[in-house]
Structure 1
Amino acid sequence: MEVKIGVHNAPREIVVDVDATQEEIEALVTKAIAGGVLDLSEAKGRRVLIAGERISYVEMGRQAQGTVGFR
């Protein structure tokens, strides 16, 4: 699942592709905002740590699959 995270005073959002459900991500974000650190890991091994107090927004959703042809 693709997760986009907006961070205070950062010019761009952070995009992470994780193998987790929306419920799992929501629980991690809620815990981080309550006073912790958001810790996300990608399947490729990249790890992202963000202080919960710095999180502006979190957008969750699947990456769009490429299509062939015209719609």
Structure 2
Amino acid sequence: MDLRIGIQNSPRELGFETSQTAEEVEQAVAAALTGQSPVLRLTDSKGAVFVVPAAALAYVEIGTESARRIGFVG
């Protein structure tokens, strides 16, 4: 699934692909926004860990879990 995270006072967003489910990502975001966790911690599909302070989150866009197409789309 593709994720895009907007960070306050940053012109760029953080984008990566993760093997976590949409529900797992939503739970992690909710925990960070409600103060249960001081950071949002997510892992990409290659094993890299991304840690964003909860206070710096602007938005989190959760993409679809569909497989990518190969070839030309007409």
Q: TM-score, normalised by structure 2?
A: 0.81
Percent of aligned pairs sharing the same letter:
34
Given that residues 34 and 52 in structure 1 are in contact (C-alpha distance below 8 angstroms), is that contact kept between their aligned partners in structure 2? no
Whole-Å separation in 1 of the counterparts to 2:73 and 2:40: 40
Unaligned runs of 5+ in 1: none
Stretches of 4+ aligned residues off by more than 4 angstroms: none
Alignment partner of 1:12 is 2:12:
yes
Alpha-carbon distance, 1:50 to partner? 0.3
Q: CA RMSD in A?
A: 1.8
Q: What's 1:69 paired with?
A: 72
Which string of whole-angstrom CA distances, capped at 9 and with x for unpartnered residues, describes residues 42-69 of structure 1?
Answer: 2312110001111111111137724423
Q: What's 1:47 paired with?
A: 49
Q: TM-score, normalised by structure 1?
A: 0.84
